[in-house]
């Protein structure tokens, strides 16, 4: 890229770029511009340039990220970007953002289905309301295998909320509480990816069927 193209690209993501056309080193120039940028902004720039970020690619995250982009789910994308960006560098924040991603997914689905949010807008009540709105309640399915899978999916999502409450950056931590590691953060992000992707696809299927 020419320096002017670099400035145009980074400026679109809110970075302040000097009005220069020639720099001694484009690499150093870009590194300096990005040094003060938030992790989620850097991740968005990398995604725009189709650059793979080491440590953020997971089995389910890529497909979920693409699905969020295609669906125009701005709040979900923002939350998931933060989760991906923090997996290796800040596992606590990654877990908190993964949980927030699912909360945003649930609210988007409830908006589409024209269902009111629960009074308590934490993850567990939001999941219950979303599963009900999509007719996914494990108790409402006759086939035992389907009930087992749906129940497991729901429990995994609820467990993510518990992780957030006990260990993540969303709440304070006592002196005796241990910190979670990168592998735990990756597990949380993968869980959010799997559950969120399934819920959004189910919502789309219900909408298409009714249409």
Among the ranges given (1-10, 33-42, 90-99, 158-167), the one the predictor scored with the smallest mean pLDDT = 33-42
Q: Judge contact between 150 and 163, C-beta under 8 A.
A: no
47 within a domain of the structure (yes/no): no
Average pLDDT over residues 44-60: 60
154 within a domain of the structure (yes/no): yes
CATH number, residue 174: 1.20.120
Average pLDDT over residues 76-86: 83
Structure tokens at 46: 């990398």
pLDDT tens for 11-29 read: 887 888 888 888 888 888 8
The span from the CA of 35 to the CA of 120, in Å, is: 39
Average pLDDT over residues 44-54: 67
Q: How many domains does the chain have?
A: 1
Is the model more confident about 127 or about 148?
127
Contacts 24+ apart (CB under 8 A), 46-52: 47/81, 48/9, 49/9
Task: Tell me what pLDDT residue 53 has.
Answer: 56
194 within a domain of the structure (yes/no): yes
Cα–Cα–Cα angle for 66, 135, 146, rounded to 5 degrees: 85
> pLDDT band at residue 59, thresholds of 50, 70 and 90?
very low
> pLDDT band at residue 209, thresholds of 50, 70 and 90?
low
44 within a domain of the structure (yes/no): no
**The CA-based dihedral angle spanning residues 99, 104, 110, 111, taken in that order and rounded to the nearest 10 degrees:** 170
Structure tokens at 147: 């009930």
Nearest alpha-carbon partner for 43 in 88, 82, 95 = 82
pLDDT tens for 186-206 read: 888 888 888 888 898 888 888
pLDDT tens for 99-120 read: 999 999 999 999 989 999 999 9
105 within a domain of the structure (yes/no): yes
Task: Tell me what pLDDT residue 92 has.
Answer: 87
The span from the CA of 15 to the CA of 13, in Å, is: 6
Average pLDDT over residues 82-94: 85
Range of the domain at 121: 54-210
| H or E element at residue 63 | helix 61-71
Task: Tell me what pLDDT residue 211 has.
Answer: 44
104 within a domain of the structure (yes/no): yes
Is the model more confident about 82 or about 129?
129
Q: Which residues are within 8 A (CB) of 36 and not within 5 positions of it... i.e. 6 or more apart?
A: none
101 within a domain of the structure (yes/no): yes
Task: Tell me what pLDDT residue 139 has.
Answer: 65
- Biggest CA-to-CA distance, the chain: 68
Task: Tell me what pLDDT residue 118 has.
Answer: 94
22 within a domain of the structure (yes/no): no
**What average pLDDT does the chain have?**
79
pLDDT tens for 132-175 read: 999 887 666 557 777 788 888 888 888 888 888 877 555 555 55
């Amino acid at each position: 890229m020419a320096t002017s193209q670099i400035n145009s690209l980074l400026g679109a993501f809110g970075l302040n770029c000097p009005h220069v056309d020639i720099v001694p080193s484009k690499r150093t120039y870009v590194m300096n511009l990005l040094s003060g940028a938030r992790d989620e902004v850097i991740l968005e720039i990398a995604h725009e340039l189709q650059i793979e970020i080491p440590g953020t690619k997971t089995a389910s995250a890529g497909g979920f990220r693409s699905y969020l982009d295609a669906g125009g789910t701005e709040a979900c994308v923002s939350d998931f970007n933060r989760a991906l960006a923090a997996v290796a560098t800040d596992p606590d924040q990654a877990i908190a953002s993964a949980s927030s991603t699912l909360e945003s997914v649930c609210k988007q689905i409830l908006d589409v289905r024209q269902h009111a949010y629960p009074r308590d807008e934490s993850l567990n009540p939001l999941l219950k309301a979303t599963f009900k709105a999509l007719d996914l309640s494990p108790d409402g399915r006759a086939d035992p295998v389907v009930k087992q899978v749906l129940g497991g999916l729901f429990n995994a999502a609820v467990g993510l909320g518990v992780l957030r409450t006990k260990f993540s950056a969303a709440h304070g931590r006592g002196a005796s509480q241990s910190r979670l590691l990168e592998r735990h953060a990756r597990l949380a992000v993968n869980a959010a990816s799997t559950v969120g992707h399934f819920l959004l696809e189910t919502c789309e299927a219900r909408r298409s069927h009714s249409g």
